[in-house]
Amino acid sequence: MTDYYEILGVPRDATPDQIKKAYRKLAREHHPDVSGAEAGSEDTFKDVSRAYDVLGNPEKRRAYDMGGDPSAPGGGMGGGFGFQDIFETFFGAATGAAQQRGPIPRARRGQDALVRLDLDLSEVTFGVHREVPVDTAVVCPTCSGTCCRPGTSPRTCEVCGGRGSVQRVARSFLGQVMTTQPCAVCHGFGSVIPEPCTECSGEGRVRSRRTLSVDVPAGVDTGTRIKLTGQGEVGPAGGPAGDVYLEVRERKNDTFVRRGDDLHATLEVPMTAAALGTVLTLDTLDGPREVDLRPGTQPSQIVTLKNLGVGHLHVGGRGDLHVHVDVQVPTAMDDEQVELLRKLAALRGEERPESRFAGSSTGVFAKLRDKLAGR
């Protein structure tokens, strides 16, 4: 059986007054003519009314408490307290509330704006100061947001008397229903503007291009949003400004790949230099840095340069730069070079190297597998 107490949101031992209050509140929220909008409101309203029809009547409530459902078909809506009465009770309250709402203010908050900010890797690494142009709306300089031609002022709407709404009596299957609607003449504002400002066409704001000055912190990433409070467009009739959100998009870098706040780069090293060892100079984001490659440097070996990565957002400190060694094996060689290499191979006993697999836990495949697994 339907739980009428639950529908009204009251305890089983609620007083008649509590029940009446709960009903009025819910009826006001869900009455289709008043709330006017939400799908499903009508059904909720019917349930609420049915619950009150029973619980609001001492006789029916007693019968219901004893296990009967007096509102079920045949149980009768006829006796005692009917729908009609409920409506009149409820409606006095609803129109009162509508009158208290009054006219809606002409000034409204401006909308937020989302602006994309393209940044280079060095800019997100160290942070950057940027001037960002935005198309926005500012208060109309001619009318200062009043929407009226200078020297004129808004006039109280004669149709609604400044209330912004008009009441209408309509007949419905449940009896007389009084509805409150926004005034069509003043659009609910309660006032009309007899002579609109010509510069802004009575909007109180005009389009404009402004430049925002932004300090972008180090460590932002693609998708990071920077909020500039109150820097958005001014609302209609000089209403408060919305906010601007700058959404960062990091440009691809030709040399460095970013993973979190660490940077990765590939360093091409000739085979001979990898074998003999060398000192190379790298162009890092912080300028030239020397990298010391030990004799016998292997392919895919990683040299880590501490604190040359991207700055950590807000907390300070920086990530690292990981240099991946890529040993270059010569392809085009002249006769003399080939001869030298053959001599080297002979000296090392490598003219006919044994073919053998590396162990499954060593070798390049194992390293690749570990890297993919993030080990």
List interacting residues with Zn ion (CB under 5 A): 140, 142-143, 157, 159-160, 183, 185-186, 197, 199-200
Minimum distance of Zn ion from residue 159's CB (angstroms) = 5
Residue among 140 and 293 whose Cβ is closer to Zn ion? 140
Q: Is the alpha carbon torsion for 284, 132, 216, 225 positive or negative?
A: negative
The alpha carbon of 304 is separated from its chain's Cα centroid by a whole number of angstroms, namely 37
Minimum distance of Zn ion from residue 199's CB (angstroms) = 5
Token pair 């990091």 is found at 250
Residue among 137 and 216 whose Cβ is closer to Zn ion? 137
Minimum distance of Zn ion from residue 110's CB (angstroms) = 15
Residue among 228 and 234 whose Cβ is closer to Zn ion? 234
Residue among 138 and 212 whose Cβ is closer to Zn ion? 138
Residue among 89 and 152 whose Cβ is closer to Zn ion? 152
Question: Of 333, 331, 327, which is closest to residue 274 (Cα–Cα)?
Answer: 327
Of all helices (H) and strands (E), which one includes residue 216? Answer: strand 205-216
Q: Is residue 191 within 8 Å of residue 156, measured between CB atoms? A: yes
Minimum distance of Zn ion from residue 236's CB (angstroms) = 11
Paired tokens of 285: 């984001």
Minimum distance of Zn ion from residue 240's CB (angstroms) = 17
Residue among 140 and 228 whose Cβ is closer to Zn ion? 140
Alpha-carbon distance of 228 to 214, in angstroms, equals 9
Residue among 137 and 143 whose Cβ is closer to Zn ion? 143
Minimum distance of Zn ion from residue 77's CB (angstroms) = 40
Cα–Cα distance list, 349 to 12, 32, 244 (Å):
97, 95, 70
Paired tokens of 30: 């869900």
State the DSSP code for 112: P
Q: Is residue 249 within 8 Å of residue 172, measured between CB atoms? A: no
Minimum distance of Zn ion from residue 202's CB (angstroms) = 7
Alpha-carbon distance of 265 to 321, in angstroms, equals 8
Question: Of 210, 250, 251, which is closest to residue 228 (Cα–Cα)?
Answer: 210
Residue among 186 and 293 whose Cβ is closer to Zn ion? 186
Minimum distance of Zn ion from residue 318's CB (angstroms) = 51
State the DSSP code for 236: G
Alpha-carbon distance of 29 to 41, in angstroms, equals 8
What number of H helices and E strands is found in the chain? 10, 15
